Amino acid sequence: MGTAAFSFVNPADLDGGVGSQPTAKALARRSKQRRQILVMIGASYVIDAGVLLLYAQAGSTPLMIAPAYAASGLTLVIFSAILSEFGFNERFKDHYLVAPQATVCMLIALAFTYLAPEVGGMFLCTLFIVFSFSSLRSSPAQTMVIWTAMTIGLAGLFLLTDKPISMPHGSHLERFATLLVFVLTIGRCMFLGIFSSSLKQSLYQSGLKLKEAYKRIEELAELDELTGSYNRRCIMRMLDEEIARAGRTGAPCSIALIDLDWFKRINDAFGHPTGDEVLRTFAITMFANIRGIDRFGRYGGEEFLLVLPDMSTENAVRTLDRLRGIIAELDWSAFSPDMRVTISAGVATLTPEETPDLFLARADCALYAAKARGRNRIASA
């Protein structure tokens, strides 16, 4: 039974999860994995039947026990295969039907312990494998049901019968067969332990990748697709947060509404693709020259909002004038030999009890004043 766990080594059954309809590819992969499980279960019964043949050769148990045990296991495999191929398993959350298969395997082991108590120790050893395997995929409730059924079965076997359950070890052949029982049992249990550890690590890594993917999705939802700056919804939320923080701490908070001068002329003269590149270059330059705590986002069109926490009006004006000079001095000739790009900005500093709308309106008035005075300059409200 334990060898069936090999089919779980590639736990790629992620699409078509709970609450969603599995794809045809997922169904095909599930069917293939179930076939692998059943092959491993059948192989496990054949291997154990081979050990029983050694015991029969040594005279420890009747010869018919080995083929009867193999036939029982293979019957389970064939019946499970028929159900799988007709899609019966897909009706259940555990589409491997691990708990029912483990229960049947446990009953087979207990039955043969009763029928052949002279080698009963071997069948009891398989219970460790069956239970370890079932615990990999069974729910806590299913695990308790299997454990309870196994306890009742063992209680009936040990307390209600007088079968002399033993493990043959008189002759060299018996000792060799018993050695194989322990080696195979311990080996399969070790495999299940190693696999369980690797599965947990795989699930942990998958969880990390999933968190990274969700984080990336959230970041993309907050970013302006063209410039990589925050989009309007996100920058407005950040402004609200900074206003609330400034109200709690009493720290100053300034903002700047920034506009690219005569940007429509750039689009008309050089084309919209060039205009997009100008916006991208401007945004990259801004990000490279602001503080880590500053927040920069696209307010609309060629207008941008810069949130400057913990900054007074004087410092904000100096900062924006420095940024204005950096933008004006950039070499824009890569786009066109005679291209020149400048910015104008309106700076405002938060006043007590001021609303975001009024705060932005004052910055907008300052921006209008900067444009009215000839552009390529900074004005404060």
Laid out side by side, the sheet with 343-349 consists of: 295-300, 303-309, 253-260, 343-349, 378-380
Together in a domain, 246 and 304: yes
Q: Which residue has the higher pLDDT, 321 or 2?
A: 321
Is the pLDDT assigned to residue 15 strictly greater than 70?
Answer: no
Helix (H, G, I), strand (E, B) or coil at 224: coil
Confidence label for 313 from pLDDT (cuts 50, 70 and 90):
very high
Number of domains in the chain: 2
Together in a domain, 240 and 345: yes
Q: What percent of the chain has pLDDT over 70?
A: 93
Picking from 219, 250, 265, the residue at the C-terminal end of a domain is 219
Whole-number average pLDDT of the chain: 87
Q: Which residue has the higher pLDDT, 63 or 129?
A: 63
Q: Can you read off the two tokens belonging to residue 29?
A: 């992969």
Together in a domain, 203 and 238: no
Confidence label for 1 from pLDDT (cuts 50, 70 and 90):
very low
E strand or H helix at 295, and its extent? strand 295-300
pLDDT at 378: 96
**Residues whose CB falls within 8 Å of the CB of residue 359, separated by 6 or more in sequence, listed in order:** 239, 243, 255, 348, 350
pLDDT digits (tens, 9 = 90+) for 248-274: 999 999 999 999 999 999 998 889 999
Domain range holding 160?
Answer: 2-219
pLDDT digits (tens, 9 = 90+) for 18-75: 445 667 887 887 788 788 878 888 888 999 999 999 999 999 999 999 999 999 999 9
Is-contact 103 149, C-beta < 8 A? Answer: yes
Q: Can you read off the two tokens belonging to residue 53?
A: 């043949």
Cα-trace Rg, the chain:
37
| Distance in Å from the first CA to the final CA of the chain | 78
pTM for the predicted model, two decimal places: 0.52
Residue 368 domain flag: yes
pLDDT digits (tens, 9 = 90+) for 281-305: 999 999 999 999 999 999 999 999 9
Together in a domain, 194 and 278: no
Is-contact 376 363, C-beta < 8 A? Answer: no
Picking from 195, 219, 243, the residue at the C-terminal end of a domain is 219
Residue 226 domain flag: no
Together in a domain, 325 and 204: no
CATH number at residue 241: 3.30.70.270
Give mean pLDDT, residues 1-30. 53
Is-contact 96 34, C-beta < 8 A? Answer: yes
For 201, list phi and psi in degrees, rounded to 5: -65, -40
Residue 195 domain flag: yes
Give the range with max mean pLDDT: 181-190, 219-228, 343-352: 343-352
Together in a domain, 237 and 340: yes
Out of 63-72, 88-97, 120-129, 336-345, which region has the weakest mean confidence (pLDDT)? 88-97
Confidence label for 10 from pLDDT (cuts 50, 70 and 90):
very low
Q: Using the Cα atoms of residue 276, residue 280, residue 285 and residue 290 in order, give the sign of their dihedral.
A: positive
Confidence label for 310 from pLDDT (cuts 50, 70 and 90):
very high
